[in-house]
């Protein structure tokens, strides 16, 4: 933890990077000491990733210098950065599922002897590296059989195998449950003790305070300040990061209604030889109720939503919306009786990126009487409606005719949430409604969800942000391996508790 | 924090922003840029072709001058429109597919199949004149649809990529046509060298607008382009079709069945394709036989690309192709090989695709940066550190 007097591993000076459409970096100054964990915190879109991509050689800065271990560097590509010992662990894993751990680690940097793979050498080296860094993973396991935490370890080993001594970890905890986060931090400490330097990018303040030796705050594309964790707390760090007070998902009194609006019974997806992705799931959502679903990604939440929406075939069970049994209805029929959906991936499932905003807000609602003029689309009304959504949800855009790709992620999400809430649905399935959005947009989306709920909306909320789940939900269900494995009261639930159930812990039946 | 959580000072900002960029103006400006870039691409193609002429020892300036001189003659202009007619139809057929993100390479097979069926069925019935023509047009559309539907069924039921299936179905169509023709439909009553199906009765002969020069199918083609515009760009069905083409997953999530859109798009595409050979069948040969032109289905792909699937673009591109083709003879007289016309047409397609791609990218960048700079200006003071 001794940060004084140690040598400097990375120094960025006056870095400037201009990009059309995104907040670029300007006047960025960063000093990372050797053998420390240096956190970089900032909101989504503050420019953290741009900066790290600069350091990793993904693109060249327009101005400023990069100095690594005392030598000024001009990276043309990531391979230049790798050559001087910089490695990057991406937020989204880049692993080949049907390869073993060992194969994945050496992929792209295969040690050969006279043109023949020398697996034996590779195994020996990886075992040494793993032992030195305190990472334990079965080298012969198939990556497809590994959990998220283990996959991340493989990514780290991959980077170490290429000789990295300076590791950049981009939002490494975003996909982990609390227990896995602890394990990751242990690994990081091991690495640092072994002499490595770690640059840790995050926007989760508690984690940053817990693990880092120094913290640099980045806001609106520039470095605001560098602080020591002992000099700040969560609130002050948050204020530095946002430039204002942090919003919180909590604080409300809800009146859960008595009418059941959504009833799912014995829902099962996948049968016979297939793995059951959703296995005998039953729950009900009442009027003015938010039911949160916690779970590590890939435990059936996606398939559950698709099944409720009628987007995937079910093998058993039923879905009832209000009085209607919609088990065999089409997606459009379900939507027309009042189901809205904020999908998991807004780019893939939600928006048409190259189409103008107004066509995007019209999508899925083009059959509503107000948007129809005979067989034609009532374009004027669609424009008017889009402008209403823009105003009501504070979508920052010059007009409704710009294509969606020109907006920031947060504004795209607000537009999407606006579309799904604007036709006064009875039921909203909201998957990660605030994923990848800035704090301002997050607060706005939370407020809209709460308001809609108070007006009687029944919400199924799926989120990886456990604070969001606990803060907004009236009931929390935990989904593990396709089943509902726990039902919790958010008043008493803690992220740690959720983490236990999310990784397969059992709830004693009361 | 209560229910009134809002971004500070964001109210009114968006309203103020709209003044920075007037939507209507911005839209028409983009249209102008697109048009200008297409024209620039055509000019570039002429320059490249000119260099090729020069290298082969011909005088490009003289060749182009001759092309323009003859091309602007009254008869040649009519010929250009006559040649543009099937190209418009074929291009619309291809463009309908493109709008649903489907590459219908099978227009070729669809229109030849439709031409045979329509000729045979048309010759077998007797109806009063206008009805007879309309009936044959409908039969041709139906036959084209049926052939295109095969690819749709393969895609929806079996997941076969339509590029592969439509290419294959072109070959199948040729063989099926040959077989049907040889076994049943060939008219052996006349000892003519020019074999064809039974000649259509007079009532099914479509009158020309300008006798021997321009078929009434020209008007039908213009009407088809107009209908294409209304149905695909203005109707609710068209919105669903285009949305599904833009992002089929998002459209499906929004309740638009992509399978239904695949079938609709290919059936519509096939119906329009069915009309491609009608200028020849109804206005010229009055039967199916040699003389029904081939290759129009592939030419339609080029015209649709050149016209960027836009109704006006398709008309302009078809007219340009018609013009170039009509001047081929004049070049021959100048001892310039008329195959240079094919070279020019091919280079135009290449330059248009390349220039359009470059322009689209730079316009996208421009839009993104203008959007962000417009927002930067509007950001309340104090928001940036």
B184, pLDDT greater than 50: yes
Q: Which ranges constitute the DSSP H helices of A347-483?
A: 357-362, 379-392, 409-422, 439-454, 466-472
pLDDT score of B162: 92
Determine the distance in angstroms separating the CA of B92 from the nearest CA of chain A, rounded to an integer: 20
Is the residue at A27 inside a domain?
yes
pLDDT score of A440: 77
Asked whether residue A208 falls in the same domain as residue A342, the answer is no
Contacts A403 to B, Cβ<8 Å: 364, 367
The residues, ordered by sequence, that sit 6+ positions from A51 with a Cβ below 8 Å of its Cβ are: A12, A15, A17, A25, A28, A30, A40, A218
Structural domain harbouring B163: 88-319
Asked whether residue A115 falls in the same domain as residue A142, the answer is yes
Integer Cα distance of A64 and B82 in angstroms? 63
Is the residue at A28 inside a domain?
yes
The residues, ordered by sequence, that sit 6+ positions from B325 with a Cβ below 8 Å of its Cβ are: B80, B83, B341
Asked whether residue A16 falls in the same domain as residue A93, the answer is yes
pLDDT score of B31: 76
Burial label for A467, CB within 10 Å (0-12, 13-18, 19+), is middle
Determine the distance in angstroms separating the CA of A274 from the nearest CA of chain B, rounded to an integer: 20
Is the residue at B68 inside a domain?
no
Asked if residues A165 and A44 have their Cβ atoms less than 8 Å apart, the reply is no
Q: Do A332 and B256 touch (CB under 8 A)?
A: yes
Is the residue at B365 inside a domain?
no
Asked whether residue A276 falls in the same domain as residue A186, the answer is no
Beta bridge partners of A86: A166
Asked whether residue A480 falls in the same domain as residue A428, the answer is yes
Compute the count of residue pairs across chains A and B with CB atoms less than 8 Å apart. Answer: 163
Asked whether residue A344 falls in the same domain as residue A227, the answer is no
Structural domain harbouring A105: 8-242
Asked if residues A257 and A456 have their Cβ atoms less than 8 Å apart, the reply is yes
Asked whether residue A221 falls in the same domain as residue A323, the answer is no
pLDDT tens figures, A333-390: 999 888 999 998 888 899 999 899 999 999 999 988 999 988 999 999 999 999 999 9
Is the residue at B363 inside a domain?
no
Question: For A130-150, what is the mean pLDDT?
Answer: 82
DSSP string, B250-280: HHHHTT--HHHHHHHHHHHHHHHHTTTTHHH
Contacts A399 to B, Cβ<8 Å: 17-18, 21, 23, 26
pLDDT score of A145: 82
Is the residue at A1 inside a domain?
no
* Rg, C-alpha atoms of chain B: 25
Is the residue at B114 inside a domain?
yes
Asked whether residue A291 falls in the same domain as residue A179, the answer is no
A505: DSSP letter: P
Is the residue at A251 inside a domain?
no
Determine the distance in angstroms separating the CA of A401 from the nearest CA of chain B, rounded to an integer: 6
Is the residue at A249 inside a domain?
no
Supply the CATH number for residue A35's domain. Answer: 3.40.50.300
Asked whether residue A264 falls in the same domain as residue A226, the answer is no
Question: For A205-216, what is the mean pLDDT?
Answer: 89
pLDDT score of A247: 66
Is the residue at B343 inside a domain?
no
Beta bridge partners of A234: none
Closest CA to B316 of B91, B106, B126: B91
Number of domains in chain B: 1
pLDDT tens figures, A431-441: 999 887 777 78
Residue-averaged pLDDT of chain A? 86
Residue-averaged pLDDT of chain B? 84
Question: For A170-176, what is the mean pLDDT?
Answer: 81
The 3-state DSSP class for residue B117 equals helix
Number of domains in chain A: 2
Mutate to test the interface with A, among B247, B374, B382 (most CBs of A within 10 A): B247
Is the residue at B251 inside a domain?
yes
Asked whether residue A48 falls in the same domain as residue A165, the answer is yes
Integer Cα distance of B79 and B90 in angstroms? 18
The residues, ordered by sequence, that sit 6+ positions from A194 with a Cβ below 8 Å of its Cβ are: A132, A133
Among residues A210, A242, A274, the one where a domain terminates is A242
Integer Cα distance of B166 and A254 in angstroms? 58
The residues, ordered by sequence, that sit 6+ positions from B37 with a Cβ below 8 Å of its Cβ are: B355, B356, B359
Q: Do B23 and A355 touch (CB under 8 A)?
A: no
Is the residue at A250 inside a domain?
no
B226, pLDDT greater than 70: yes
Contacts A379 to B, Cβ<8 Å: 234
Query: What separation in angstroms does the CA of B321 have from each of A86, A143, B69, B307?
Result: 56, 55, 16, 11
Query: What separation in angstroms does the CA of A334 have from each of A237, A305, B258?
Result: 45, 13, 17
Question: For A169-174, what is the mean pLDDT?
Answer: 84
Q: Half-sphere exposure of residue A232, counting CA atoms within 13 Å on the CB side?
A: 24
Is the residue at A124 inside a domain?
yes
- Cross-chain CB nearest to B253 (options A350, A399, A444): A350
A508: DSSP letter: P
Asked if residues A433 and A463 have their Cβ atoms less than 8 Å apart, the reply is yes
Reported as type and span, the H/E element at residue B43 is helix B23-55
Percent of chain A with pLDDT over 70: 94
Is the residue at B115 inside a domain?
yes
pLDDT score of A240: 85
Is the residue at A254 inside a domain?
no
């Amino acid at each position: 933890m001794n940060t004084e007097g140690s040598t400097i591993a990375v120094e960025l000076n006056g870095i400037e990077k201009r990009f059309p459409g995104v907040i670029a970096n300007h006047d960025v100054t960063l000093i990372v000491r050797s053998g420390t964990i240096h956190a970089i915190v900032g909101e989504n879109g503050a420019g953290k990733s741009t900066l790290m991509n600069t350091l990793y050689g993904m693109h060249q800065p327009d101005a400023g210098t990069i100095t690594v271990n005392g030598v000024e560097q001009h990276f043309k590509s990531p391979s230049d950065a790798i050559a001087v010992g910089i490695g990057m662990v991406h937020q989204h894993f880049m692993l080949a599922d049907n390869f073993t751990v060992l194969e994945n680690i050496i992929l792209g940097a295969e040690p050969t002897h006279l043109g023949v793979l020398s697996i034996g050498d590779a195994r020996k080296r990886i075992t040494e590296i793993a032992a030195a860094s305190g990472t334990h993973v079965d080298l012969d396991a198939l990556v497809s059989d590994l959990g998220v935490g283990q996959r991340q370890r493989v990514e780290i080993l991959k980077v170490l195998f290429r000789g990295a001594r300076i590791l950049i970890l981009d939002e490494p905890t975003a996909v982990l449950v609390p227990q896995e986060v602890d394990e990751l931090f242990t690994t990081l400490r091991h690495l640092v003790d072994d002499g490595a330097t770690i640059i840790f990018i995050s926007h989760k303040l508690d984690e940053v305070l817990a693990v880092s030796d120094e913290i640099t705050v980045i806001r609106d594309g520039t470095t605001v300040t560098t602080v020591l964790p002992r000099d700040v707390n969560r609130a002050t760090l948050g204020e530095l990061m946002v430039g204002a007070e942090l919003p919180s998902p909590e604080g409300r009194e809800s009146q859960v209604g008595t009418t059941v609006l959504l009833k799912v019974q014995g829902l099962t997806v996948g049968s016979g030889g297939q793995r059951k992705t959703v296995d005998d799931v039953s729950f009900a959502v009442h009027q003015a109720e938010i039911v949160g679903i916690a779970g590590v990604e890939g435990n059936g939440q996606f398939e559950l939503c698709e099944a409720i929406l009628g987007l995937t075939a079910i093998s058993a069970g039923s879905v009832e919306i209000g009085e209607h049994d919609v088990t065999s209805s089409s997606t459009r029929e379900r939507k027309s009786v009042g189901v809205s959906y904020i999908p998991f991936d807004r780019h893939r499932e939600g928006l048409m990126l190259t189409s103008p905003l107004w066509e995007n807000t019209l999508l899925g609602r083009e059959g509503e009487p107000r948007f129809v003029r005979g067989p034609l689309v009532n374009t004027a009304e669609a424009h008017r409606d889009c402008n209403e959504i823009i105003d009501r949800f504070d979508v920052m855009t010059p007009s409704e005719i710009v294509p969606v790709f020109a907006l920031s992620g947060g504004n795209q999400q607000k537009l999407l949430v606006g579309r799904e809430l604007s036709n006064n649905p009875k039921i909203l399935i909201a998957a990660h409604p605030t994923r990848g959005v800035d704090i301002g947009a997050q607060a706005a989306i939370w407020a809209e969800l709460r308001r809609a709920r108070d007006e009687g909306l029944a919400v199924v909320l799926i989120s990886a942000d456990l604070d969001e789940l606990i803060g907004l939900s009236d009931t929390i269900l935990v989904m593990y391996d396709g089943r509902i494995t726990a039902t919790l009261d958010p008043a008493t639930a803690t992220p740690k508790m959720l983490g236990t159930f999310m990784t397969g812990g059992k709830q004693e039946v009361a | 924090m209560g229910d009134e959580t809002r971004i500070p000072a964001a109210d009114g900002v968006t309203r103020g922003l709209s003044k920075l960029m007037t939507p209507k103006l911005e839209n028409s400006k983009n249209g102008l840029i697109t048009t200008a870039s297409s024209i620039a691409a055509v000019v570039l193609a002429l320059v490249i072709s000119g260099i090729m002429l020069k290298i082969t020892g011909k005088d490009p300036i003289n060749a182009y001058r001759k092309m323009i001189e003859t091309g602007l003659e009254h008869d040649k202009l009519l010929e250009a429109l006559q040649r543009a007619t099937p190209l418009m139809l074929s291009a619309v057929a291809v463009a309908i597919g493109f709008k649903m993100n489907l590459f219908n390479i099978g227009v070729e097979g669809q229109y030849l199949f439709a031409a045979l069926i329509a000729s045979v069925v048309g010759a077998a019935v007797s109806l009063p004149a206008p009805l007879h023509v309309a009936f044959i047009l409908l039969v041709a559309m139906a036959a084209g649809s049926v052939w295109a539907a095969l690819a749709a069924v393969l895609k929806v039921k079996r997941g076969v990529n339509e590029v592969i299936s439509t290419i294959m179905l072109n070959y199948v169509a040729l063989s099926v046509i040959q077989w049907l023709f040889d076994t049943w439909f060939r008219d052996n009553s006349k000892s003519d060298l020019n074999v064809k199906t039974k000649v259509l009765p007079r009532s099914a002969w479509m009158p020309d607008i300008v006798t021997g020069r321009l078929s009434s199918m020209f008007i039908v083609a213009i009407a088809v382009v107009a209908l294409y515009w209304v149905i695909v760009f203005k109707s609710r069905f068209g919105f669903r079709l285009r949305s599904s083409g833009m992002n089929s997953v998002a459209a499906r999530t929004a309740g638009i069945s992509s399978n239904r859109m695949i079938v609709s798009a290919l059936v519509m595409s096939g119906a329009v394709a069915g009309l491609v050979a009608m200028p020849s069948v109804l206005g010229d040969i009055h039967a199916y036989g040699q003389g029904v032109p081939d290759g129009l289905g592939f030419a339609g792909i080029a015209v649709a690309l050149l016209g960027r699937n836009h109704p006006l673009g398709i008309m302009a591109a078809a007219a340009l192709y018609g013009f170039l083709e009509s001047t081929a003879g004049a070049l021959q007289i100048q001892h310039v090989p008329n195959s240079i016309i094919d070279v020019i047409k091919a280079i135009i397609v290449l330059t248009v695709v390349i220039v359009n791609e470059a322009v689209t990218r730079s316009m996208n960048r421009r839009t993104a940066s203008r959007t962000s700079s417009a927002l930067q200006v509007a950001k309340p003071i104090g928001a940036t550190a």
